[in-house]
Structure 1
Amino acid sequence: MRHLALGLVLLAALALAAALGFRQVALGADLARREVMGALSDLGYARVVASEGRTVFRLLPVPRLVLYDVEVGAEDARPALSVDRMTADLDLWTALFGGVRIERLVLEQPDLVAAALPTFETPVPKVLEPILARLNEVGEVEIRNGVLRSERDGRPLVSAAHIAVSWPAESASAELTGSYDWNGQPVTVSLDLARPLALLEGGASTAEFQMTSPELSVAFAGEAASSGRLAGRLTASLPSLGRAIDWLTDHRPAVPEIGPLTLAADLMSEDGRFDLARATVSIEGFEGRGALDLVFPEDRRPSLGGTLAFERLDLDGIAEALAPRPTNPLAATRTIPTAFVDSMDIDLRVSAERGQAGPLALSDLAGTVKMKDGVATLDIGDAELLGGRGQMRVAIDSTARPPVLKGSASARDVDASGLFAAFGLDPALATGRADVAFDAASPVTSWADLLRRHRLEVVLSARSGSVSGLDPQRLTTDGRTVFDPGTAPAALPFATLKAEIATWGSRMELRSLRLSSELGTIEASGFLLNGADEADLVGTFDPAPVPSAVSGAALTKPKPIGMTMRGSWPHPVVVTTAGSSGE
């Protein structure tokens, strides 16, 4: 009897528990449903939340509410968020006593229309605040196979999103991990906040962030404050600046394919300003060190300033990235992009122990890189080259129609043979010390147009050297000589040499040449290239006076010798005609 009584008591208790449980299931299902709907409303929509599909609720072993076909949005409008299946795991003890506390929320195949995405200038803590505020109550959220669409055209910006966010307790750290596809490229991301509650309450928290993708990888470790301030170590790498911006943004800016690029720096960021101290920047494989500041003002274009010192800087590589040389006739007709010049302001001071500018090797160079009001300028104020010193300035004005390039360069006391060799000519052509100045102008439209319409003027002055290819013994007699500096039996020494050369399109004109030596003076002008790879030059050799055969008589003045140089390069024919002033 005693056992029977005990059994009846237990059965009664179980019956009571079952009755209470079934009642709580009925009450809890409705309460849990309202709580989950409220959680969705609090995600920033504050609109109507509807569940068109069926609802499943269970109390044991783990209280769980499952909603199907959930939509969030304004009435009579396209849903801003739709979810195929939503699962909410609830706290057991709270559920047993008629309450609801969501411990874990799983959204399967959510489809979100983005009304406005945060801009690059938006402080990271400001982006995190609404997420943290909701996590403080939910604890854990998981997204499976999510999609984020553009409100403008409905195309997916983010797809295949698998994200897990966890903040189990107020005193605990918060963590976000996951992966997604952005503009067709896979991305993995992780974020750890040591003190998320402090961040939510207006303070700061230690933060670690990592994002990796084929187009851009970024890592940050430091402190984040609710004011938007970031302080810590930042690293970033990207194979191409143009492709990275194209991938990140919703538009297609004409940005040069500069890359690969890497950056490592101590970051201090606040109010749209990013100060990068102890920065190491690698551009096209050339590494520079210094400090940078990047500013995103609300009322004007972004700006970049600072100082970078390189061990080696190849200006050719950067120029090739800005305007890649064509590899076929079709590529030569493509437009050279210049719109990027007006995209931001730049004021960088650069220096390098070694460098390259076209065919010239440089050392100890110092200069500036600037972009302002649509004009880009590279100014090398001083550099060592060919045993002398030089400078260069190139500017592209993107506001002109068509855009134009203007440049100037000069070198002082450089090796003449090295100068000729640098431009692909026979180094035996001339020796001595030289000064040279260049002025160039061209439309920046396409390579075909640039080659056809460019203008270049060169002034060359040399001293105490020699010119090969002109045999001194043959200058005073009639004859024909093939111009060949490499095999000429003798060189013509000179005291001074000055030449003015102009090029446009495929033509190169020798406007004037004057060579003075002990043997006499040579003056010439004409075409070095007449458009058909041929020379057509006319000049005279005025021999120096010679002693008279009669003792004590005045010096004898020989008659001028006429000269022409005509024929195809590299070996035109030099014709001398005694007693003539040329043909």
Structure 2
Amino acid sequence: MPSSAMKKSIWALVIAAVLAVAVVVCLPILASTQIVRDSVAQQLSAWSGYRVRLDDAPQIRVWPSFSAVLNDVVLSDWNDDGAAAVMEAERVEVDLSALAALRGKVVFTKIRLVRPVLRLDDTDGMMRVPSIPNWGRLAQSVEVARELLAADPAAPDKTALPSDSFATVEVEDGRVITLSGASRPPLLSGFTGTFNWPALNRAATLSARGIWHGESITVDASTEEPLLLLAGGKTALSLTVKSAPLTLSFKGEADLVGGAFVNGTLESSAPSLQRVLEWTLLEDWPGSTIKPAKLRSTIIGDAKRIKFETAEFSLGDSNATGVFDVAFTDQRPTISGTLAFNALDLGTLLKTLAPEPDAPTQAAAAPWAHDLNFDLRLSATQATAGSVSMTDVAATAQVRDGLVSLDISDATAFGGMLQLGIRLDNVEGRDHAELRIAAENIDGGLMGEKLHFTAFMPKAKGSFSVFLKGHGETLNQILETSDGSISANFGKGSIVGLNLETFREHNDKGSFFPLQDIADGELPIEGADLKATLAGGIAWIDTAEARLSTGEKITIGGLVPFAGRGIALSGSILPPGPPSGEETAAEESSAGQGPRETFFVGGSWNAPFIAPFLIE
């Protein structure tokens, strides 16, 4: 005979089978009533607080799970019949608890939204869900959490949080649009994801993907206390965003309500900063491709200011550490701080602040010169600007109200000290530029070699200063309208590209000849000076002289217009001066003698010629 244990097992199987049959038999009966159409709509409304309208009768499924398929579901504001629906869904699939249904209750275990459309209110420039009802179960639970936070912000009583079960929510091919954006593309399209929140007092996770600004983007987020987060409390948050232009992750604590608050570690990387700017700002970025960028930092702040501490930043091959913050207190966000680079590409930095236009009609000012403000203090052990290398650089980069400036207050270059300032601005629709350069004790020969401008550049130690300002969209236009001044002083050395002996041979013949014919030598000098005034794009030579080791002196005067690249200069070679202490007598003698040789330099920058005149 069967044992007692076996009999119990048989009876357990029989009871289970009977219950299963009862469920299968009863569910269709229950589902055939108003439990699905009415109760499901009531539950959706009870949780969300919105009016729920089902425009079609639900389809009931008993196998393999008890579920309902609702077509044409609409959520709208109870108080505004004429307003557009907050959300519409082509289909909503709801998985229900079979045991709860047998007790006459509706308990969701999973909600699947198929091709939903969510409308956001953007009337004040901020994207938000319009008119969130405060009587829905979720809103009331948030209010309970808010009261607990008010009682003890630092350590709210988490055991008193509502513990209602919450369904898993799945979305397929959703869209997010604005109430005023009927003719505008969706803010987010192709949205597909899963929001898993088992109960209101438990952790929640989100995994989603979609298309934002034309790029596929995936988001993964999790928080240990979602109800406190919705109520404005600080709670742990993990967030990862991945896309082709940008990868970003945050881990720390956050408060996303009201003034907001974040405190944690942020990491981001982009294969091209230019692409990120074009993607986020939705406008073409002129000029050459900006290099890859990475950022790792501890961040802390709120909706008014976010501070990046112990930041590690890289742009191309340039790496930097420092502290900076982003302030949102003015109409334009302001980024300010201090960054120390191991190596800095100043050309890349300037193109980042003010990209070169691709076409003459494009403005040279950077788009963010009108959307963002910058005030960055920079230092670099090494820096480059094209072929120029510098060390121990201290600089300031500023963008404010459309004005772009880059100032190098101190740098070592060409064996001496270098200072440089660049200003770019747009006044009444007209682009303006200003350049200031000051150099002391630099090696002229080294500078000429690095700048690929060796002709007539003294190979000697010296100093110079340049100031010019002009207007236009290109460098040529700026030079052709420039005003300013140039001065230079060099000591003992030589001038490359001048053969004085060959010059005198041509000079004796009395006919003009190309400057190239005397460019095969170096002219020894004891020193050289230059002063020039720029007006309307023309450089007027006030003083230009080279003192030769023979005691002679070469002087040049005239003008050099930037437009047309022409030259109109006259020069003289003066005889040696008197010994020291005999200046007065020598001046009288020299006045009687006059200059030994005079000449004229004309033609173009690319092919100048000399017309000598011999004076006996």
- Category of TM-score, reference length = shorter chain: 0.7 to 0.9
**CA offsets, 1:365-391, max 9 Å, x none?**
102112334433221110001000011
**CA offsets, 1:13-58, max 9 Å, x none?**
999878865553325324532334315743xxx3x32111221234
**CA offsets, 1:218-271, max 9 Å, x none?**
11112224663222110122345554345335x659798754332110111224
Which amino acid is the alignment partner of residue 80 of structure 1?
A: V
Residue 96 of structure 1 deviates from its aligned partner by 1.2
Match 1:153 to one of 178, 181, 188: 181
In 2, the alpha carbon distance for the partners of 1:576 and 1:11 equals 120
TM-score by length of 2: 0.78
In 1, the alpha carbon distance for the partners of 2:577 and 2:41 equals 113
Match 2:614 to one of 574, 578, 582: 578
C-alpha contact 2:312 2:320 (8 A) present in aligned 1: yes
C-alpha contact 1:397 1:403 (8 A) present in aligned 2: yes
In 1, the alpha carbon distance for the partners of 2:16 and 2:475 equals 94
In 2, the alpha carbon distance for the partners of 1:259 and 1:10 equals 67
Task: Provide the alpha-carbon RMSD of the alignment.
Answer: 3.9
In 2, the alpha carbon distance for the partners of 1:232 and 1:239 equals 24
SS, match of residue 181 in structure 1: strand
Which amino acid is the alignment partner of residue 322 of structure 2?
A: G
Structure 1 runs not aligned, ≥5 long? 1-5, 548-552
C-alpha contact 2:27 2:98 (8 A) present in aligned 1: no
Alpha-carbon distance change, 571 to 266 in structure 1, aligned in 2, over 3 angstroms: same
Task: Identify the residue that residue 516 of structure 1 maps to in structure 2.
Answer: 547
Task: Identify the residue that residue 151 of structure 2 maps to in structure 1.
Answer: none
In 2, the alpha carbon distance for the partners of 1:131 and 1:394 equals 58
Does residue 1:84 correspond to 2:96, yes or no? no
Residue 554 of structure 1 deviates from its aligned partner by 8.6
Residue 164 of structure 1 deviates from its aligned partner by 0.5
Match 2:349 to one of 311, 315, 318: 318
Residue 110 of structure 1 deviates from its aligned partner by 0.7
In 1, the alpha carbon distance for the partners of 2:428 and 2:16 equals 94
In 1, the alpha carbon distance for the partners of 2:351 and 2:485 equals 23
Residues 293-304 of structure 1: matches in 2 within 5 Å?
293-297=325-329, 300-304=331-335
Alpha-carbon distance change, 304 to 521 in structure 1, aligned in 2, over 3 angstroms: same
Does residue 1:396 correspond to 2:424, yes or no? yes
Residue 564 of structure 1 deviates from its aligned partner by 1.9
Task: Identify the residue that residue 550 of structure 1 maps to in structure 2.
Answer: none
Task: Identify the residue that residue 178 of structure 1 maps to in structure 2.
Answer: 208
Task: Identify the residue that residue 491 of structure 2 maps to in structure 1.
Answer: 463
C-alpha contact 1:352 1:364 (8 A) present in aligned 2: yes
Which amino acid is the alignment partner of residue 37 of structure 1?
A: L
Task: Identify the residue that residue 41 of structure 2 maps to in structure 1.
Answer: 34
Alpha-carbon distance change, 312 to 207 in structure 1, aligned in 2, over 3 angstroms: same
Moved more, 240-249 or 561-570: 240-249
Residues 13-52 of structure 1: matches in 2 within 5 Å?
21=27, 24-25=30-31, 26-38=33-45, 41-42=48-49, 46=50, 48-52=51-55
Residues 163-562 of structure 1: matches in 2 within 5 Å?
163-170=193-200, 172-200=202-230, 203-225=233-255, 228-241=260-273, 243-248=275-280, 252=283, 258-297=290-329, 300-325=331-356, 331-338=359-366, 340-357=368-385, 359-426=387-454, 429-445=457-473, 449-450=477-478, 452-455=480-483, 457-473=485-501, 478-479=508-509, 482-484=514-516, 488-489=520-521, 491-500=523-532, 502=534, 509-517=540-548, 518-528=550-560, 531-545=563-577, 557=590, 558-560=593-595, 561-562=597-598
In 2, the alpha carbon distance for the partners of 1:121 and 1:288 equals 35
In 2, the alpha carbon distance for the partners of 1:309 and 1:278 equals 11
Residue 145 of structure 1 deviates from its aligned partner by 0.8
Match 1:566 to one of 575, 583, 602: 602
Residue 358 of structure 1 deviates from its aligned partner by 5.2
Which amino acid is the alignment partner of residue 145 of structure 1?
A: D
In 2, the alpha carbon distance for the partners of 1:333 and 1:354 equals 36
Which amino acid is the alignment partner of residue 419 of structure 1?
A: M
Alpha-carbon distance change, 402 to 578 in structure 1, aligned in 2, over 3 angstroms: same
Match 1:67 to one of 65, 70, 73: 70
**CA offsets, 1:418-445, max 9 Å, x none?**
2333443226742111211111212254
In 2, the alpha carbon distance for the partners of 1:376 and 1:394 equals 8
Task: Identify the residue that residue 3 of structure 1 maps to in structure 2.
Answer: none
Which amino acid is the alignment partner of residue 341 of structure 2?
A: F
Alpha-carbon distance change, 27 to 144 in structure 1, aligned in 2, over 3 angstroms: same
Alpha-carbon distance change, 541 to 408 in structure 1, aligned in 2, over 3 angstroms: same
Task: Identify the residue that residue 152 of structure 2 maps to in structure 1.
Answer: none
Residue 461 of structure 1 deviates from its aligned partner by 1.4
Alpha-carbon distance change, 382 to 92 in structure 1, aligned in 2, over 3 angstroms: same
In 2, the alpha carbon distance for the partners of 1:55 and 1:533 equals 82
In 2, the alpha carbon distance for the partners of 1:316 and 1:140 equals 52
TM-score by length of 1: 0.82
Alpha-carbon distance change, 559 to 139 in structure 1, aligned in 2, over 3 angstroms: same
In 2, the alpha carbon distance for the partners of 1:296 and 1:435 equals 44
> Aligned pairs, how many?
553
Which amino acid is the alignment partner of residue 203 of structure 2?
A: S
Residue 546 of structure 1 deviates from its aligned partner by 7.2
In 1, the alpha carbon distance for the partners of 2:413 and 2:16 equals 101
In 1, the alpha carbon distance for the partners of 2:486 and 2:413 equals 18
Which amino acid is the alignment partner of residue 547 of structure 2?
A: S
SS, match of residue 332 in structure 1: coil
Which amino acid is the alignment partner of residue 94 of structure 2?
A: A
Structure 2 runs not aligned, ≥5 long? 1-10, 133-137, 143-161, 580-584
Alpha-carbon distance change, 486 to 332 in structure 1, aligned in 2, over 3 angstroms: farther
Does residue 1:116 correspond to 2:122, yes or no? yes
SS, match of residue 488 in structure 1: coil
Moved more, 137-146 or 515-524: 515-524
Moved more, 286-295 or 15-24: 15-24
In 1, the alpha carbon distance for the partners of 2:266 and 2:126 equals 16
Task: Identify the residue that residue 95 of structure 1 maps to in structure 2.
Answer: 101
**CA offsets, 1:187-225, max 9 Å, x none?**
111001133344356544322111111232211112224
Moved more, 258-267 or 449-458: 449-458
In 1, the alpha carbon distance for the partners of 2:467 and 2:120 equals 52
Alpha-carbon distance change, 345 to 383 in structure 1, aligned in 2, over 3 angstroms: same
Which amino acid is the alignment partner of residue 565 of structure 1?
A: V
In 1, the alpha carbon distance for the partners of 2:497 and 2:19 equals 119
**CA offsets, 1:73-119, max 9 Å, x none?**
34244433221110111222221111122111000111222223997
In 1, the alpha carbon distance for the partners of 2:19 and 2:363 equals 85
Alpha-carbon distance change, 97 to 433 in structure 1, aligned in 2, over 3 angstroms: same
In 2, the alpha carbon distance for the partners of 1:529 and 1:21 equals 95
